[in-house]
Amino acid sequence: MILVTGGAGFIGANFVLDWIAAEGTPVVNLDKLTYAGNPGNLASLTHDARHIFVKGDISDRTLVAKLLVQHQPEAIVHFAAESHVDRSIHGPGEFVQTNVVGTFNLLEEVRTYWATLAEPAKSGFRFLHVSTDEVYGSLEPTDPAFSETTPYAPNSPYAASKAASDHLVRAYHHTYGLPVVTTNCSNNYGPRQFPEKLIPLVILNALNGKPLPIYGDGKNVRDWLYVGDHCTGIRAALHKGRPGETYNIGGNSEKTNLEVVHAICCILDTLHPAGAPHAKLITFVKDRPGHDRRYAIDATKMKTELGWQPQEQFETGMNKTVDWYLNNGAWVRRVISGEYRRWMDLNYTTLR
């Protein structure tokens, strides 16, 4: 039995599905169901007794304590967070509340529970904290990729709140001995991602003949990690990672945003020729304030220590992703709710 937080979101849901398929042991899934949480992501597990869904907040310490005592998990995999940089610019308070205070509350209850465990459960227990490469700040074009020893330099309220949570997790190991492992991954893409993020936004806008908004000059660089590869990476870190260590998980796929958007347009030109060439929809818009120029991940430690490396190439992962959005119209229709439309109005009023 493991307890996952935020398992109705993009990566969490992919992880729960992957875990049950690959490991087969039960998962308690604690998720508040914010705008980003979508129970429809887990529809295929509706009648599967191995998935126990609990709607609740990681900051509800009474609830967390009860779940820990009731289910006696051997690990926590902590995904729950506010995750979108642009939203953190419009409203940072929620990010501090969930990512920092929420992680603190969760750590406190987990520490209390862990103290009650007897050996070997106690030393076998893991708190796996899912974090981001954004805590390392921005790279110049010729800088080496982020490694686990790169100093923290978060630039957005989102990145700062994740950095704060990473420091708390680290401190709980150093001070209390809690067996934690932290993973810092690059930008994920794949099925079930909420269309506020670049890749699903571009796919859905292109299908609907809407502008494809590119911030600034479109030359910002991200490393793209297919979500299925991220899930196997987390499982490797959970099973083989050393307590107190951090592991960088990347996709070996550095691309400018323009390259990403052109790749999506090319795939759609073949799979959905009606709107071709989709690249005619590309629209340069006002840049994001403080927009980090480049992220890149050196995942050597994952490879040498844990034997993990990504299986997906950018092209194969992107083909799978576009194909998934084309074939899951019902999921897309449910997600394009009032909340999503309000966000589009707030963030993209300055399309030029």
Please give the residue ranges that form the binding site for ligand NAD (CB under 6 A): 5-6, 8-12, 30-34, 36-37, 57-59, 79-81, 83, 98, 102, 130, 132, 162, 185, 187-188, 194
State both tokens at 8. Answer: 């109705």
Q: How many residues bind ligand TYD (CB under 6 A)?
A: 12
**Is 133 one of the catalytic residues?**
yes
**Identified catalytic residue from 113, 136, 158, 247:** 158
CB 88 within 8 A of CB 158: yes
**207 touches which of ligand TYD, ligand NAD, none (CB within 5 to 8 A by kind)?**
none
Residue in 57, 82, 134, 223 annotated catalytic: 134
Q: Does 201 bind ligand TYD (CB under 6 A)?
A: yes
The dihedrals phi and psi of 179, each to the nearest 5 degrees, come to -75, 90
Return the number of the residue (108 or 269) whose C-beta is nearest ligand NAD: 108
Annotate each residue in 295-324 with x if it binds ligand TYD (CB under 6 A) or - if it does not, as one string: ------------------------------
If binding is defined by CB under 6 A, does position 220 make contact with ligand TYD? yes
Residue placing its CB nearer to ligand NAD in the complex, 91 or 273: 91
Is 158 labeled as catalytic in the residue annotation? yes
Tell me whether residue 164 is exposed, middle or buried, using C-beta atoms within 10 angstroms of its C-beta: 0 to 12, 13 to 18, 19 or more: buried
59 vs 99, beta carbon nearer ligand TYD? 99
Q: Which residues contact 320 (CB under 8 A, 6 or more apart)?
A: 190, 191, 226, 312
Helix axes 198-207, 314-327, angle to 10 degrees: 50
Query: What x-and-dash track marks residues 51-90 binding ligand TYD by CB under 6 A?
Result: ----------------------------------x-----
Least distance (Å) between residue 120 CB and ligand NAD: 29
Could you give the CA distance from residue 156 to residue 16 in angstroms, rounded to a whole number? 29
Query: E strand or H helix at 90, and its extent?
Result: helix 85-90
User: Of residues 57, 82, 133, 312, which has the active-site annotation?
Assistant: 133
Spatial distance between the Cα atoms of 147 and 136, rounded to a whole number of angstroms? 9
249 part of the interface to ligand TYD, by CB under 6 A: no
Instruction: Kindly state the smallest distance separating residue 213's Cβ from ligand TYD, in Å.
Output: 4
Smaller CB separation from ligand TYD, 201 or 318: 201
CA separation for the pair 80, 170 (Å, rounded): 18
Terminal CA-to-CA distance of the chain, rounded, Å? 51
Q: Is 109 a catalytic residue?
A: no
Residue of 150, 252, 257, 321 that binds ligand TYD (CB under 6 A): 257
Question: For residues 159 and 83, what is the distance between their CA atoms, to the nearest angstrom?
Answer: 9
Minimum CB separation from ligand TYD for residue 85, in Å? Answer: 4
Query: Helix %, strand %, coil % for the chain, to 5?
Result: 50, 15, 35
Q: Which long-range contacts (C-beta less than 8 Å, at least 24 apart) are formed by 334-343?
A: 334/38, 334/40, 335/38, 335/40, 335/194, 335/195, 336/195, 336/204, 339/35, 340/35, 340/194, 340/195, 340/196, 343/35, 343/87, 343/196
Residue (18 or 269) nearer to ligand NAD, CB: 18
Closer residue to ligand TYD in complex, CB, 126/129 = 129
Q: What is d(CA 276, CA 26) in angstroms, rounded to the nearest whole number?
A: 45
Binding site for ligand TYD (CB under 6 A): 85, 187, 197-198, 201, 213-215, 220, 222, 257, 288
Could you give the residue numbers annotated as active site? 133-134, 158
